[in-house]
Structure 1
């Protein structure tokens, strides 16, 4: 009996060869990986609306505000309150502190911009543009160092303003950066007077 051997190679599509563990992955492996990746992405997209709805919307954040009673403050004293999870320094400055801040030329400042949310545009960092309008002895600012987010110490440093001991940033009594690595003045949040003894932050 004679036997005729096949003269053509096996059809690789109908008879797939096993994947070489040390070689390239087969098309089947690629499709499995791609399908898994698309399923994972689809799962994330499906649950994202539920995660996102837990975040407060912009209007809720815009309305977040606190009223602060400043009736007990006397010249030379300061208090710290929390607003939106951030410390806010409120200081009743002495006449000498106000005078020293006003006599400082803008050319001596590292950051010449007021960083005051109550003013439009890039207003210059004069003491008048940093203090509370109508009560220039009072100043309020977010108490987070603009270098790496530390909380500076009050009534400290070369200018008797604020000093960040972490890396040596020094702010004056108007909250303006004077020396050290911090690049910007302490920011001033939205502020309004409710009456003579109460201010609203936010």
Structure 2
């Protein structure tokens, strides 16, 4: 600091002498002074400005005090400390010799996880809503859902009689069989049947037979208690079913279908299996 003040005082002395002496000797003296003080940028700049002012005075130009002060402005801020932002930088970017693209994946890992995580979640929600909409559109109508299961009171059907009920838009035959019918159906030799099934496989209680009233040929509705085997007869193409709903004669390929049902006490619940 003492050296700077020494250089500054020397330049000010040169400036003062320039106001009194005119000629080439002043310029030479100031130039020599500047060359000897070239180690300090601040002092050199001050001397250069004072030399310019002295030249203008020598040449007959006058300058105000404000103009002289503005020319002596400080241009070198060597004592200013630049801020250090190392504490705010990520560890992956502290190495100045390492390219930014080498740590790009590490720096963007969290943002990518949030982006793809939220995007994937939104995609799953949209897919779920779409699938639910399609399933609801293709699903069963509300009135059919209300008839997803029906209850039949056994006491409503006398022995040896068949009653027809509607389940999901289809006719269902519920027959209260007699002991003679049960014995007759058990004695049938299944090896000679087109769709071999024993009577025990088709009923839960031997007294009660529950089958869909749709012919397995073309879906016609057979007539209960008719035909050559005392079961069901389809007049459309002459198909005969026995008392267990098994195909015995005609073009039908399969037995009458047994719907899912369960027996709970004195009630038959059609549509819910055990």
Q: TM-score range by the shorter chain?
A: 0.5 to 0.7
- Residue 242 of structure 2 is aligned to residue 172 of structure 1: yes
Question: Which structure shows the higher strand fraction?
Answer: 1
Deviations 1:52-101 (A, max 9, x none): 643326xx96x921111121222211100011110000001111111111
After the TM superposition, list the runs of 4 or more consecutive aligned residues in structure 1 that deviate by more than 4 angstroms: 49-52
Match of 2:168 among 84, 107, 112: 84
SS of equivalent residue, structure 1 residue 98:
helix
Match in the other structure for 2:179? 95
Alignment partners' CA distance in 2, 1:198 and 1:55: 32
Deviations 1:132-186 (A, max 9, x none): x2x2111000110000000000100001100000000100000000010000000
Q: Which has the higher contact order (CA 8 A, sep 6+)?
A: 1
Match in the other structure for 1:127? 199
Alignment partners' CA distance in 2, 1:174 and 1:138: 10
Q: CA RMSD in A?
A: 2.3
Alignment partners' CA distance in 2, 1:53 and 1:128: 38
Question: Which structure shows the higher helix fraction?
Answer: 2
- Residue 232 of structure 2 is aligned to residue 162 of structure 1: yes
Q: What are the equivalent positions in structure 2 for 1:98-113 lying under 5 Å apart?
A: 98-112=182-196
With normalisation by structure 2, the TM-score equals 0.47
Match of 1:185 among 255, 267, 273: 255
Alignment partners' CA distance in 2, 1:71 and 1:139: 15
SS of equivalent residue, structure 2 residue 225:
strand
- Residue 269 of structure 2 is aligned to residue 200 of structure 1: yes
Alignment partners' CA distance in 1, 2:202 and 2:183: 13
Match of 2:217 among 138, 141, 147: 147
With normalisation by structure 1, the TM-score equals 0.63
Larger Rg: 2
Structure 1: gaps (5+ residues): 1-48, 113-124
Match in the other structure for 2:154? 70
Deviations 1:16-50 (A, max 9, x none): xxxxxxxxxxxxxxxxxxxxxxxxxxxxxxxxx97
